[in-house]
Amino acid sequence: MTFYVTTPIYYANSLPHLGHLYTMIVCDVIARHKRQQGIETFFLTGTDEHGINIERAAQRNNRTPQEQADYVVNYFKKMTAAFGLDTAHGGYDFFMRTTEPFHYEGVSELWRRAARATTPKGREALYKGHYEGWFCAACAAYKTEDEYSESANADEPPTCLIHETKLDRVSEESYFFRLADYDQALLKLYEERPEFVQPEARRNEVRKFVEGGLQDLSVSRLRTSVSWGVPVPDDPAHTMYVWFDALINYITAIGFGNQQQEKAVGFEKFWPALHLVGKDILRFHAVYWPAFLLAAGLEQPRGIIAHGMWVDPTGRKMSKTLGNTIELDVLNRHFPTDAIRYFCLREMVFGQDGRFGYENLIDRTNSDLASGLGNLSSRTLTMIQRYCDGRIPSGDISEEGRLPAKRAGIDSDEATISSFIEHARDEFIRYLDEFAFSKALEEAWSIVAHVDKMISDAKPWDLAKDATQEQTLNAVLYRAAESLRWLSVLLYPVMPNAAREIYAQLGLNDDLSKIDPAALKWGDLESIQIGEVKALFPRIDKAKTMSEIKEGTSEGEGSGQHATEADAVSEARASARASDAAAHATQAEAAPDAATLVSYIEITDFAKVDLRVGEVRTAERIPKADKLLLLSVDIGEEKPRQILAGIAEYYEPEQLVGRKIVVVANLKPRKMRGHESQGMLLAASIGEEGKPVIATFTEDVPNGARLK
């Protein structure tokens, strides 16, 4: 049996941050878990090195595109090593680069196959046509009307709603992939394999998108417009669309269409893969990629699992555009790798967005790791050192020992604790298999709490003073030590260093990467001499570390390296909320400083936002715009304001008329769907899908009153 897991390949235009590290950590945990189960596993990560975005970043940095890619890859490799994610530390098996010649071979082979293929509706899958439309270099995607906002000035190009950057006009000959013909085949795939896209909410989203009808996809650009990419076979005047080239990395890396990787890895052996991706790139993986594979006659992936985004304490997606990223070198300097891994998995409910703050990371490390696991390990081992001469004692309680044990609250047989731990272990594995990492960790920590309580109730320090309680004392310490052995095996995929450390301190030296937690048997720990007892997770001094981070960052630590990357802006997709007033305010301050780390603003910043009470006079739907309502709102001015609000899926126009709302009155007017919006209404954003709930007043307020 084999298993193949992938991260997305990261754009080589700018340096990675915590958002990028996260998918790697998740894949690393999955790979280690599979390896423990004895499954031959291949874990792939790498960089996406082609396209206009890299070309532009290179230009800005006075480098060739290849130099730009090499620079980012160097940093990536340095960071993956620092975080124990590289091959040398038992992490990824191969670092893929799309500029590798073998990748060109495989991509060309797939293109040729698609060029020979007919669609499910009997037409040619690839055809030459003319593309006319708008393209966002940062998204590397063509944009439809509802994905950009028109500029107020008719001569200026529209702006990407995600990046707030100007779009490129494309009007040229292009090859098209006939995606429109694959809708039924894709819907059948989602229907027949409900596990194909996870979590379920994301699958529904993808299904709805496909049900809404698909448009053919432009898959090449003229070499004269984009030269940095794979040439189209037999037509080198065209360069392949970067997403076409990038997605195919998942199969070229293991040998599709090239001998070199086939020999080293093996396509037949490892395909299909499990793809882990951020929810922002789900469409590319769950719609385009399966369609390309259908055209090439290849098997579909094992599954596509979408995770949420890391957001800052104010709820905005961490991205270079907003200058709110958590830099890897800062994290690496101030925190143990295992604490970061633990935090990422414990704090982010997988699939949902997670909030990152250094203070949370410190609190979790101190409570769960220093006081929790670390303390349990050191108190258990120190007592074994002290009361048992450093030898794991026997856990057996004889006939005569039963009564005293019972008095100390200890069962004479170990059934209670062993069945508790076996159950927690089974749940832990089940949750890990379902990617419910935070729940899995809760299970593991239920063991920590259980054993802690057993120790506190039995009070070994008192038992040690009573010779008749020797067996009870030994049984308590044995059970604690045996639980620690189980915890090391369970936690190895999440915290490889700490797990190895506990294991070694217990006096054990097997390779944890090869011990299947399902095969653990209670009582297998033998009476061996323990190792040297050391603190696992020293407590972090919060005030001191916070001020070091702030000082370091404002002096340019971490961010300094990024500041040289003038291309930062074109990095990851910022949340669509980038368009709100708060985002504008932060964007002005490019590199993160101490203030943006905790996201404080000055009162003068807040005063820039003119918030007014408004009353909705009229509300109507806009033809062909499912999400927008056109409102006229009285904010105490001569004429009501015209405001467009993306709430049509949740509010009926009639519900709104007469309602008092809060309006951002000094937001720059912008055009959407041919209508100018002269402000923005405020609403809470609820749940995963961001359901809006309009802010309102429960007391009488005059129109135009200012909110301060």
Catalytic residue among 33, 34, 163, 285: 163
Give 28 or 48: the residue with its C-beta nearer to ligand MSP. Answer: 48
Residue 7 Cβ vs ligand MSP, minimum distance, rounded to whole Å:
7
Contact 285, 277 (CB under 8 A): yes
Q: Which stretch binds ligand MSP (CB under 6 A): 16-24, 406-414, 436-444, 700-708?
A: 16-24
**Long-range contact pairs involving 254-261 (C-beta distance under 8 Å, separation at least 24):** 254/4, 254/42, 254/44, 255/106, 256/106, 256/109, 256/110, 256/298, 257/105, 257/106, 257/107, 257/108, 257/109, 257/110, 258/102, 258/103, 258/105, 258/106, 258/109, 260/102, 261/102, 261/106
d(CA 253, CA 257): 10
Q: Which of 277, 451, 583, 625 binds ligand MSP (CB under 6 A)?
A: 277
Catalytic residue among 33, 34, 136, 660: 136
Q: Which stretch binds ligand MSP (CB under 6 A): 148-156, 174-182, 278-286, 448-456?
A: 278-286
Q: Which two tokens stand for residue 585?
A: 């305010």
The 8-class DSSP code of residue 199 comes to S
Catalytic residue among 27, 50, 103, 139: 139
Give 9 or 137: the residue with its C-beta nearer to ligand MSP. Answer: 9
Q: Which of 221, 118, 223, 227 is nearest to 176 (CA)?
A: 221
Contact 304, 195 (CB under 8 A): no
Contact characters 520-559, ligand MSP, x per CB under 6 A: ----------------------------------------
Tokens 């990675």 sit on residue: 16
Asked whether position 8 contacts ligand MSP by CB under 6 A, the answer is yes
Q: Which of 186, 408, 572, 635 binds ligand MSP (CB under 6 A)?
A: 572
| 274-278 and 303-307 strand pairing | parallel
Asked whether position 278 contacts ligand MSP by CB under 6 A, the answer is yes
Catalytic residue among 34, 103, 160, 307: 160
d(CA 687, CA 664): 23
> Residue 130: enclosing H or E segment and its boundaries?
strand 126-136
Among residue numbers 666 through 695, which ones bind ligand MSP (CB under 6 A)? none
Q: Nearest 10 degrees: CA dihedral of 44, 558, 589, 685?
A: 40
Who's near 301: CB < 8 A, 6+ residues apart? 196, 250, 272, 273, 274, 275, 285, 289, 290, 293
Give 27 or 484: the residue with its C-beta nearer to ligand MSP. Answer: 27
708 a catalytic residue: no
388 a catalytic residue: no
Contact 31, 39 (CB under 8 A): no
Q: Which two tokens stand for residue 39?
A: 């499954």
The 8-class DSSP code of residue 263 comes to H
Residue 575 Cβ vs ligand MSP, minimum distance, rounded to whole Å:
9
Q: Which of 3, 10, 75, 537 binds ligand MSP (CB under 6 A)?
A: 10
Q: Which of 317, 612, 660, 670 binds ligand MSP (CB under 6 A)?
A: 317
Give 179 or 665: the residue with its C-beta nearer to ligand MSP. Answer: 179
The 8-class DSSP code of residue 325 comes to P
DSSP assignment of 10-69 equals EETTS--BHHHHHHHHHHHHHHHHHHHTT-EEEEEEEEE--SHHHHHHHHHTT--HHHHH
Q: Which of 4, 310, 478, 522 binds ligand MSP (CB under 6 A)?
A: 310
Task: Give the nearest residue (CB) to ligand MSP.
Answer: 278
d(CA 410, CA 472): 7
Give 11 or 478: the residue with its C-beta nearer to ligand MSP. Answer: 11
Q: Is 46 exposed, middle or buried (CB count within 10 Å of its CB: 0-12, 13-18, 19+)?
A: buried
Give 13 or 472: the residue with its C-beta nearer to ligand MSP. Answer: 13
d(CA 231, CA 129): 17
Query: E strands, 235-345, where?
Result: 235-240, 274-278, 303-307, 310-311
Asked whether position 287 contacts ligand MSP by CB under 6 A, the answer is no
Size of the site for ligand MSP (CB under 6 A): 21
Residue 227 Cβ vs ligand MSP, minimum distance, rounded to whole Å:
19
Residue 525 Cβ vs ligand MSP, minimum distance, rounded to whole Å:
39
Residue 128 Cβ vs ligand MSP, minimum distance, rounded to whole Å:
25
139 a catalytic residue: yes
Q: Which two tokens stand for residue 66?
A: 């290849």
Asked whether position 247 contacts ligand MSP by CB under 6 A, the answer is yes
17 a catalytic residue: yes
128 a catalytic residue: no
Residue 627 Cβ vs ligand MSP, minimum distance, rounded to whole Å:
23
Q: Which stretch binds ligand MSP (CB under 6 A): 162-170, 315-323, 407-415, 512-520?
A: 315-323
**Dihedral over Cα of 324, 708, 645, 353: its sign:** positive
Among residue numbers 25 through 84, which ones bind ligand MSP (CB under 6 A)? 48
Q: Which stretch binds ligand MSP (CB under 6 A): 272-280, 392-400, 536-544, 581-589?
A: 272-280
Asked whether position 9 contacts ligand MSP by CB under 6 A, the answer is yes
Radius of gyration, alpha carbons of the chain: 29
Catalytic residue among 34, 238, 320, 562: 320
Asked whether position 229 contacts ligand MSP by CB under 6 A, the answer is no
Q: Which of 67, 14, 9, 606 is nearest to 321 (CA)?
A: 14
Residue 102 Cβ vs ligand MSP, minimum distance, rounded to whole Å:
17
Q: Provide the annotated active-site residues.
A: 17, 20, 136, 139, 160, 163, 317, 320
Interface positions with ligand MSP (CB under 6 A): 8-11, 19-20, 22-23, 48, 246-247, 277-278, 280-281, 309-310, 317-319, 572
